[in-house]
């Protein structure tokens, strides 16, 4: 852990000299200024910036031959790009689209089916927050090599988002997933509302990004597990999803989670039904991968971490004989160490815990299962774990 601080220190003192690593969440403008994922203009030299979703990098832009088109400083050979048509909307999208593709909307914005009612002034801010979280989600899915297909391009297997508020009859929408459509109650972008619901529901953690990672887990269950060779193994690990969902929901809200649920599940909600267990575990996998990846981008090395707790052994994994097992376990152990440190940092600021969860051995096995599914589907998850 001490070495992490030393490395972080040197990283801050001499940043970006060696060029961005694969993990980088920090890039450099042509003027040398550090750039972060959300930036659309350099704060130092005012250069226009854009995010290229594949291979996943933020770069300063040079005006190209025709109006509103740009070359990438990071890769001048990559051709001409336009900035996403949602750049100058409340979504403030800083992503790039290859010139002549996608009707001006980037791969993340093309997923929107319904955007919030912008005649309501509060929805401008809410939509902005929603899009920041959604771009973070989509960037990670692409980084893992997972297919990100818009419903407007493939109705049957694509993904779409509805960001909606109360309807004309005064009914509130339900946040959830059905057949590739993710619905988000736009009130979830109101911090006061979301915090109130979090306390009411007794949840330790409730964020827009968390919602998206959970709901997209249901989408990828349909794509990657249903009807695949993973279905039998899924049922052995998570249970039989053919159990009545309606009854499970009813039981969960009447009786709550079973006692000792912490030994087998990542959250109380995960105990409700195998589908929810999958979505909760999937969301945690994405949280862990993103956080460890970011820490690695700042110079942390998981291999050099000095664990001050008993690390999980190989037998904890879903498939202990898998050749990537030791790497995955190193990643999990690095995460637990990192989360422990970040929790202490949060407490030193009087903030709630950064990661208010405990991962028992049974959940490590489930996370490994999710990892193997994603690695097979996207071909990139092993590389992310190995880059430690
Ligand atoms: Zn600059
Ligand atoms: Zn966009
Ligand atoms: Zn769910």
Lowest mean pLDDT among 104-113, 337-346, 361-370: 337-346
Mean pLDDT to the nearest integer, 199-224: 96
CA of 109 relative to ligand 2 center, distance in Å? 4
The pTM (predicted TM-score) of the whole model is 0.92
pLDDT value at residue 303: 61
Q: Which ligand is nearest to the CA of 272?
A: 3
What are the C-alpha distances in Å from 296 to residues 35, 40, 126?
17, 24, 31
CA of 164 relative to ligand 2 center, distance in Å? 19
Q: Are strands 96-98 and 112-114 parallel, antiparallel or unpaired?
A: unpaired
* C-alpha span between 96 and 70 (Å, rounded): 9
* C-alpha span between 289 and 286 (Å, rounded): 5
CA of 24 relative to ligand 3 center, distance in Å? 30
Model pLDDT for residues 158-204, shown as the tens digit of each residue: 999 999 999 889 999 999 999 999 999 999 999 999 999 999 988 99
Model pLDDT for residues 72-84, shown as the tens digit of each residue: 999 999 999 999 9
CA of 176 relative to ligand 3 center, distance in Å? 6
Q: Which ligand is nearest to the CA of 73?
A: 1
Model pLDDT for residues 69-113, shown as the tens digit of each residue: 999 999 999 999 999 999 999 999 999 999 988 679 999 999 999
* C-alpha span between 231 and 294 (Å, rounded): 32
pLDDT value at residue 23: 55
* pLDDT class of 293 with cuts at 50, 70, 90: confident
Mean pLDDT to the nearest integer, 273-287: 98
Specify the length of the chain in residues.
388
CA of 54 relative to ligand 2 center, distance in Å? 14
Tokens of 57: 């990098």
On the question of pLDDT at 24 being above 80, the answer is no
* Helical packing angle, 231-238 and 274-297, nearest 10°: 90
CA of 67 relative to ligand 3 center, distance in Å? 45
Where helices occur in 221-324 by DSSP H, the ranges are 231-238, 245-255, 274-297
266 CB neighbour count, 10 Å cutoff: 23
On the question of pLDDT at 11 being above 60, the answer is no
CA of 47 relative to ligand 1 center, distance in Å? 5
pLDDT value at residue 264: 97
Sign of torsion, CA 126 131 136 140?
A: positive
């Amino acid at each position: 852990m001490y070495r992490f601080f030393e490395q972080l220190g040197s990283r801050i003192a001499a940043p970006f000299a060696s060029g961005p690593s694969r993990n980088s969440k920090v890039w450099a403008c042509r003027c040398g200024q550090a750039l972060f994922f959300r930036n659309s203009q350099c704060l130092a030299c005012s250069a226009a910036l854009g995010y290229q979703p594949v291979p996943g990098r933020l770069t300063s832009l040079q005006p190209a031959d025709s109006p509103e088109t740009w070359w990438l400083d990071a890769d001048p050979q990559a051709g001409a790009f336009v900035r996403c048509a949602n750049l100058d909307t409340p979504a403030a999208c800083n992503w790039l689209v290859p010139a002549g593709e996608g009707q001006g909307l980037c791969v993340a914005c093309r997923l929107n089916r319904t955007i919030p009612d912008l005649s309501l002034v509060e929805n401008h801010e809410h939509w902005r927050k929603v899009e920041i979280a959604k771009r973070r989600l989509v960037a990670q899915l692409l980084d893992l090599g997972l297919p990100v297909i818009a419903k407007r391009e493939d109705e049957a297997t694509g993904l779409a988002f509805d960001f909606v508020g109360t309807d004309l009859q005064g009914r509130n929408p339900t946040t959830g997933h059905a057949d590739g459509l993710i619905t988000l109650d736009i009130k979830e972008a109101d911090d006061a509302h979301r915090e109130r619901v979090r306390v009411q529901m007794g949840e330790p953690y409730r964020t827009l990004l968390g919602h998206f990672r959970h709901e997209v887990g249901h989408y990828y269950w349909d794509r990657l597990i249903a009807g695949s060779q993973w279905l039998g193994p899924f049922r052995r690990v998570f249970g039989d999803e053919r159990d009545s969902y309606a009854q499970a929901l009813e039981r969960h809200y009447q009786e709550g989670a079973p006692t000792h649920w912490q030994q087998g599940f990542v959250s109380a909600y995960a105990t409700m039904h195998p589908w929810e267990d999958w979505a909760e575990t999937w969301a945690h996998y994405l949280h862990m991968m993103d956080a460890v990846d970011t820490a690695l981008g700042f110079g942390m090395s998981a291999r050099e971490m000095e664990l001050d707790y008993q690390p999980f052994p190989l037998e904890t994994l879903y498939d202990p004989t898998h050749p990537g097992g030791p790497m995955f376990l190193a990643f999990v152990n690095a995460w637990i160490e990192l989360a422990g440190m970040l929790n202490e940092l949060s407490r030193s600021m009087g903030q709630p815990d950064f990661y208010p969860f405990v991962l028992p051995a049974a959940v490590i096995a489930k996370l490994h299962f999710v990892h193997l599914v994603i690695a097979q589907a996207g071909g990139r998850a092993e590389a992310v774990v190995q880059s430690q």
